[in-house]
Amino acid sequence: MSADIVFSLHRFSIAFGNMKVVDNLSLDIRRGETLALVGESGSGKSVSALGAMGLLPASARVSGERRLSGTDLSTLTATKWQGIRGNQVGFIFQEPMTSLNPLHTIAKQIGETLRLHQGLTGRAARERVRELLVQVKLPRPDELLDTWPHQLSGGQRQRVMIAMAIANRPRLLIADEPTTALDVTVQQDILALLAELRETHGMAMLFITHDLNLVRRHADRVCVLYRGQVQETGPVSEVFNHPQSDYTRTLLAAEPEGRPAHLVPSAPALLETRQLEVAFARPKRLFSRRRPPFVAVHPLDLHLQRGETLGIVGESGSGKTTLAMAILRLTGSTGEITFAGDRIDHLKGDHLRKRRGDFQIVFQDPFGSLSPRMPVADIVSEGLRFHQPELGSDDILRRVTRALQEVGLPADCSARYPHEFSGGQRQRIAIARALILEPQLLVLDEPTSALDRTVQKQLVELLRDVQARRGLSYLFISHDLAVVRAMAHRVMVLKDGAVVEQGDCEQVLHSPRSGYTQALVDAAGLSG
């Protein structure tokens, strides 16, 4: 049995200075097996993999036993390491946009590892690269050999990365969040490909992810990490059905659940658009006719009642955010937008600015949406100070405190700066900034995508609470159907800027009519 073990760690620890980031990690992976390393951001998943392969900066102190098919990795010299990395161990990283060198063609990119480890050059290398491209199921392999990375889509680049990783038939494949940056439908294809390659090559795979759905479907065994400590290790079915540790239980229960509150059927309409279209002019080339404009959102009609949540679903590039920006009048558009009975598509300058308090937005990135130079009270009260300049500083402070309380933050945080808060707390600050103006419509642009599952769940609950209390309408933009189901009354599915399907949320997700929606639902792994 022990001969079967490809990779093992025993009492493995990593520390930066005084901070232990991985503590006493023990695991082993057998031939043809996938072990998933699961945990929230900062739990030490990636650091463990990098540390085991000696890829951390010198300031990291790595201790413990690590073995690759019997070789003790902790005593290797630099030259020995080079023979192992990329040869016996293949890596796939998260970000396909930056992990390929933009100045090398695909053939050169993959050929490099072949030349280094197998001494293949010229025609032989090219032939082998072509073979690999076929293996990772890239279309038109002959043409792809001479393309540059920027000509490929994210999914295609990730396939190239995989081809590089398996080029030397490694025994161990380390996949560090290989699909996080990809659209959900592409995710499934990539993972299926990885599973197939693992079978045919008999590789062991270390699969690092934060997404439990993927673990459930694609891993054999799972190891749950929390703050550098192993919480639980075991076969997937066992861990998922009978979790032993408290943390695993919280993680498993962290799927957003529940449904939004029922709608008042006769609620008046808050927002209506008619033939709303967003098009961007393309640059004119010298001596040639201007190409037709790029239509980001095809003409669409949309309506939203008071107290209702409309989920807007689609993959990246489908025009979700552009649509929201057009409705908020932050991007130019054509067509009618009626908000609370008034046409707002013709408003300009001061009239528009006065109206902006009624429709607010919360952005995706909790790190980028708060000015790092302002204390929280300034950030939250900024809109209030502009829209109601007659308020005294006592009134403002009281309103800030109330807004912070409403989003579940202690009042004493108002004098602190954004960097002192976690991602979820920052998102709450962003919500408080929007709520203090007492808007009627809140656009939520992927508000939970950058957060861990457990934090997501809390935020979803908060948003539903606020909606019930204030009768707010939400425009909820997301690619994550699990969150959408927990938030939205109705959904609208967008693809390439056009509506594919819309209707009652439960109905659309349960029995989608279009193939595209079906693919999204399948990919999200929604059960029932």
- Judged by CB under 8 A, does residue 430 bind other proteins? yes
Decide: 188 and 158 in contact? Cβ < 8 Å.
Answer: no
Nearest distance from C-beta of residue 271 to other proteins, angstroms: 15
455 binds other proteins (CB under 8 A): yes
Pick out residues in 321-340 that bind other proteins (CB under 8 A). 328, 330
In terms of CB distance, is 54 or 423 closer to other proteins? 423
Q: Which residues pair with 494 in a beta bridge?
A: 499
Is 377 a binding residue for other proteins by CB under 8 A? The answer is yes
Q: Is 360 in the site for other proteins (CB under 8 A)?
A: yes
Residue 368 in the binding site for other proteins (CB under 8 A): yes
Distance CA 342, CA 270 (A): 10
Vertex 328 angle, CA 301 and 281, to 5°? 75
Among 458, 461, 462, 503, contact with other proteins (rule: CB under 8 A): 458
Please, are residues 372 and 418 in contact by the beta-carbon 8 Å criterion? yes
Q: Which of 213, 273, 414, 473 binds other proteins (CB under 8 A)?
A: 414
Task: Output the smallest distance, CB 64 to other proteins, in A.
Answer: 25
215 scored as a contact of other proteins (CB under 8 A)? no
374 touches other proteins (CB under 8 A): yes
Residues 432-451 as x/- pattern, contact with other proteins by CB under 8 A: -x---x--------------
- In degrees, to the nearest 5, what angle opens at C-alpha 178 toward C-alphas 176 and 182? 145
| Alpha carbon 325 to its chain's center | 21
| Count of residues that bind other proteins according to CB under 8 A | 47
Does residue 383 touch other proteins according to CB under 8 A? yes
Only one of the segments 275-283, 374-382, 473-481, 515-523 lies at the binding site for other proteins (rule: CB under 8 A); that segment is 374-382
Helices (H), 93-183: 106-118, 122-135, 141-144, 154-166
The verdict on 281 binding other proteins (CB under 8 A) reads no
- Pick between residue 207 and residue 421 the one whose CB is nearest to other proteins: 421
Candidate ranges 72-80, 141-149, 261-269, 425-433; the one touching other proteins (CB under 8 A): 425-433
Say whether residue 375 binds other proteins (CB under 8 A).
yes
Helices marked H in 53-139: 78-84, 106-118, 122-135
Q: Where are the alpha helices (DSSP H) in 36-118?
A: 45-52, 78-84, 106-118
Q: Does the footprint of other proteins cover residue 420 (CB under 8 A)?
A: yes
Provide the 8-state DSSP code for 413: G
Nearest approach, Cβ of 392 to other proteins (angstroms)? 12
Residue 449 tokens read as 């995508």
- Asked if 240 interacts with other proteins (CB under 8 A), we say no
Based on CB atoms, which residue is closest to other proteins, 69 or 454? 454
Identify whether the C-beta of residue 368 lies closer than 8 Å to the C-beta of residue 445: no
Binding-site member from 353, 398, 510, 513 for other proteins (CB under 8 A): 353
Alpha carbons 387 and 433: distance in angstroms, whole number = 13
What is the residue-wise DSSP string for 270-308?
A: EEEEEEEEEEEPPPPPTTSPPPPPEEEEEEEEEEEETT-
Query: In terms of CB distance, is 216 or 387 closer to other proteins?
Result: 387
Contact 221, 236 (CB under 8 A): yes
Residue 366 or 512 with smaller CB distance to other proteins: 366
DSSP 1-13: -GGGEEEEEEEEE
Residues 354 and 342: beta-carbon distance below 8 Å: no
> How far apart are CB 102 and other proteins at their closest, in Å?
21
422 sits near other proteins (criterion: CB under 8 A): yes
By CB under 8 A, which span of 66-74, 80-88, 207-215, 354-362 interacts with other proteins?
A: 354-362
385 in contact with other proteins (CB under 8 A): yes
Q: Does 41 bind other proteins (CB under 8 A)?
A: no
Q: Does 369 bind other proteins (CB under 8 A)?
A: yes
In angstroms, the Cα distances linking 64 to 16, 314, 354, 360 are 15, 45, 63, 52
- The sign of the torsion formed by the CA atoms of 324, 327, 328, 329 equals positive
Q: Cα separation of 282 and 291, whole Å?
A: 6
According to CB under 8 A, which one of 74, 316, 371, 518 is a site residue for other proteins? 371
- List residues binding other proteins (CB under 8 A): 328, 330, 352-357, 359-361, 363-365, 368-375, 377-378, 382-383, 385-387, 393, 397, 414-415, 417, 419-425, 430, 433, 437, 454-455, 458
